[in-house]
Amino acid sequence: MTTVAVVGLGDLGSRTLDVLARSPRIERLVGVTRDRERGAARVAQCRLVSALQGGPRHVEFQPIGEIAEAAALDADVIVCAATRHTWWKPSPDGVPYGTWLPLQLTLVRDLMRARPSARVVCLPYPDGVGPALAPLGLAPHIGAGNVGETAPKLELLSGRDVRLVMHHSVQRYAFPSFAFLGDGETQEPPWLAHIAGLPDERVRELFRAPWPLPTGTSSHDLTAAHTATVVEALLSDEPQLVHAPAPGGRPGGYPVRLSRDTLEVDWPDEREAIETNERAQRWDGLERIEPDGTLVFTQELLGVGTARVEPHELDDVADALEAARDRCAT
Domains and CATH numbers, the chain: 3-143 (3.40.50.720)
- Predicted pLDDT of residue 184: 65
Contact partners, residue 289, CB within 8 Å, separation at least 6: 131, 132, 134, 135, 251, 295, 296
Judged by phi (left if over 0) then psi (alpha if -120 to 50, else beta), residue 248 lies in: left
In this structure, are residues 327 and 303 in contact, taking their beta carbons and an 8 Å threshold?
Answer: yes
- Read off the pTM: 0.97
Which pLDDT score is estimated for 215?
86
Q: How far is CA 48 from CA 34, 54, 55, in A?
A: 22, 10, 10
Determine contact, residues 79/4, Cβ cutoff 8 Å.
Answer: yes
Q: How many CA atoms lie within 13 A of 228 on its CB side?
A: 21
CA distance 96 to 189: 14
Q: CB-based contacts of 35: which residues, under 8 Å, 6+ apart?
A: 9
Nearest to 286 by CA among 174, 108, 130: 130
Tens-place pLDDT, residues 124-139: 999 999 999 999 999 9
Cβ(166)–Cβ(117) under 8 Å?
no
CA separation for the pair 142, 247 (Å, rounded): 4
d(CA 277, CA 191): 7
Task: Using 70 as the pLDDT threshold, list the residues of the chain that sit under it.
Answer: 90, 184-185
Give me the pLDDT at residue 57, please: 92
Nearest to 141 by CA among 79, 73, 221: 79
CA distance 307 to 115: 30
What phi-psi label fits residue 252: left (phi over 0), alpha (psi between -120 and 50 degrees) or beta? left
CB-based contact 164:154 (threshold 8 Å): yes
For residue range 36-93, what is the model confidence (pLDDT) as tens digits? 999 999 999 999 999 999 999 999 999 999 999 999 999 999 999 999 998 877 678 7
Amino acid in the structure at residue 12: L
pLDDT of residue 182: 82
